[in-house]
Amino acid sequence: MSNIVVDKSKVPWWVSNVIVPLVNLTLALLVSGLFVFIAGENPIEAVKLIIYGSFGYIQGFAYTLYYTTNFIFTGLAFAVAFHCRLFNIGGEGQAYIGGLGVFLVAINLSFLPVPIVWLLAIFGAFLFGAAWAYIPAYLQSKRGSHVVITTIMFNFIASSLMIFLLVDVIRDTNQMAPHTVKLPEEIWLPSFEAFSGILGIKIRYSPLNLTFLLAIASLFFVWFLVWKTKWGYEMRAVGHNTQAAIYAGISPHKNIIIAMCISGGLAGLLGVNEILGVSHKIQAGFPAGYGFTGIAVALMGRNHPIGILPAAFLFGILYQGGSEVTFEMPNITRYMFVAVQGLIILFSGALENLFRPQIESFFVRRLNREVNA
């Protein structure tokens, strides 16, 4: 066991919040490079491909931002619950049900003026996601059933429920696949190429759409909620010290419910991007693992919106650049990038404190020397 004792108050914020995550990330990428090498490809070439794929041309960049949008929602969802010390593993299911909310609102109220339909659909996504998170929250606060267990189970329930609905209830009956009809085109969210078309730039199709701005707004919303309102204050109080919260007259029950509902609601917003913005219908399995990757995004971003944005962007790069690599390098399969993500989660989540004491004490000593000199 290492004996390094670091006085936490002396560690500059940028060491623990920038340097340490960067070191962990670098390590994850180095190990990933090793994998690529073992698979018989040149890791440097792979990195070049990732950068080209995600930044090199405008359409690729648009794809990167589209993935980023999804990761922001699911990352924020995990972070909000985490401030109340709740491990919401159920982002996947909440996003799925959120998608149902978007679709039901949009298809049933499509006669209303378009911007109002959008607002109501966003609201519907939030509400459905929140409702799906409410049940585990209630079970946690009243019955003590751990949210980790219940939210995982609720992912399966959501998945089965949606398959049932997509096959038997809301399937587009003109075909056999488990998806719904398309929403009327006039209520689709404007896409990136529509915007660039106005500016006179013509680009090919990309799934990036107006939801990206909603994601940015959500970052502000979460920051404001958690640090600037009494609700956020109470949530954090319950998360840090439940006993003290009770002493101060703050209800843990109420705050667990609030935190989980907001968390579920944010996950639900993923449905806005996927359904109102991209595919315009509910397809079976559309959350496609974003809910789980959001956990890694939040952990890497240290549960703060300022960290979640670059973390979501990084995962966006990996998703988009990764598909470029698998396309160009036959030896690298899609699953390789699942492994890369796994490594990033491993190094920045599970092994987060592997090098933290050493790095922190290194900087503390160096800075002290500067002060003393």
Partner 1 sequence: MVSPILELTDINKSFGHVHANKNINLKINKGTIHGIIGENGAGKSTLMSIVFGLYQANSGSIKINGKEINLRSPRDSIINGIGMVHQHFMLVENFTVLENIILGFEGETVFGEKLQKAKEDLEKLCQTYNFNIDLDATISDLSVGFRQRVEILKSLYRGAEILILDEPTGVLTPQEVDELFKILRSLKDEGKTIVLITHKLIEIMDLTSEVSVMRQGEMVGHTKTEDTSKEQLAEMMVGRSVLLRVDKKEIKKGETIFKVNNLSVKDDLDVTRVKDVNLEICSGEILGIAGVTGNGQTELLEALSGIRKVESGSIELFGEKISDQNNFLNPRMLKEKGLAHVPEDRQRMGLISDFKAHENLIFGYHDQEPYSKSAILNNKEITEYSNKVMQEYDVRPNSPNLITSNFSGGNQQKIILSRELNENPKILLVGQPTRGVDIGAIEFIHQRLIDMRDKGAAILLASVELDEILSLSDRIIVMFDGKIVGEKENKNVTDRELGLLMAGVA
- Region 339-368 residues binding partner 1, contact defined as CB under 8 A: 364, 368
- Region 256-285 residues binding partner 1, contact defined as CB under 8 A: none
Q: Which of 37, 164, 220, 247 touches partner 1 (CB under 8 A)?
A: 247
What's the closest the beta carbon of residue 44 comes to partner 1, in angstroms? 41
Q: Which of 204, 230, 330, 373 touches partner 1 (CB under 8 A)?
A: 230
Based on the shown chain and the rule CB under 8 A, indicate whether residue 240 belongs to the binding site for partner 1. yes
What's the closest the beta carbon of residue 15 comes to partner 1, in angstroms? 13
> Quick one: which of 295, 314, 268, 338 has its CA closest to 68?
314
Based on the shown chain and the rule CB under 8 A, indicate whether residue 10 belongs to the binding site for partner 1. yes
Question: Does residue 67 contact residue 320 with C-beta atoms inside 8 Å?
Answer: yes
Nearer to partner 1, 201 or 246 (CB): 246
For the chain, give the longest Cα–Cα distance: 79
Nearer to partner 1, 59 or 361 (CB): 361
Stretch that binds partner 1, among 28-36, 232-240, 278-286, 294-302 (CB under 8 A): 232-240
What's the closest the beta carbon of residue 238 comes to partner 1, in angstroms? 10
Identity at 142, one-letter amino acid code: K
290 Cβ contact list (under 8 Å, min separation 6): 70, 71, 73, 74, 91, 92, 95, 270
Stretch that binds partner 1, among 34-42, 134-142, 162-170, 230-238 (CB under 8 A): 230-238
DSSP string, 25-59: HHHHHHHHHHHHHHTTS-HHHHHHHHHIIIIISHH
Based on the shown chain and the rule CB under 8 A, indicate whether residue 241 belongs to the binding site for partner 1. yes
Based on the shown chain and the rule CB under 8 A, indicate whether residue 116 belongs to the binding site for partner 1. no
Based on the shown chain and the rule CB under 8 A, indicate whether residue 253 belongs to the binding site for partner 1. no
Distances (CA, A) of 109 to 14, 165, 276: 48, 20, 13
**113: exposed, middle or buried (C-beta count within 10 Å: 0-12, 13-18, 19+)?**
exposed
Distances (CA, A) of 212 to 2, 202, 306, 327: 45, 20, 16, 26
Q: Which of 173, 243, 330, 370 touches partner 1 (CB under 8 A)?
A: 243
Based on the shown chain and the rule CB under 8 A, indicate whether residue 231 belongs to the binding site for partner 1. yes
How many binding residues for partner 1 (CB under 8 A)? 27
DSSP string, 95-108: HHHHHHHHHHHHHH
Identity at 335, one-letter amino acid code: Y
Stretch that binds partner 1, among 136-144, 166-174, 239-247, 295-303 (CB under 8 A): 239-247
Kindly state the DSSP code that residue 184 receives in the 8-state scheme. Answer: P
Based on the shown chain and the rule CB under 8 A, indicate whether residue 9 belongs to the binding site for partner 1. yes
**247: exposed, middle or buried (C-beta count within 10 Å: 0-12, 13-18, 19+)?**
exposed
What's the closest the beta carbon of residue 245 comes to partner 1, in angstroms? 8
Based on the shown chain and the rule CB under 8 A, indicate whether residue 7 belongs to the binding site for partner 1. yes
Q: List the beta bridge partners of residue 191.
A: 209
Stretch that binds partner 1, among 21-29, 178-186, 242-250, 271-279 (CB under 8 A): 242-250
Name the 3-class secondary structure at 181.
Answer: coil
What's the closest the beta carbon of residue 222 comes to partner 1, in angstroms? 15
C-alpha to C-alpha distance for 38 and 18, rounded to whole angstroms:
30
Q: Which of 182, 228, 334, 366 touches partner 1 (CB under 8 A)?
A: 228
CA angle 235, 75, 210 (to 5 degrees): 115
Based on the shown chain and the rule CB under 8 A, indicate whether residue 142 belongs to the binding site for partner 1. no
Q: Which of 113, 144, 249, 330 touches partner 1 (CB under 8 A)?
A: 249
Under the rule (CB under 8 A), what is the footprint of partner 1?
A: 3, 5, 7-10, 228-231, 233-234, 236-237, 240-241, 243-244, 246-251, 364, 368, 371
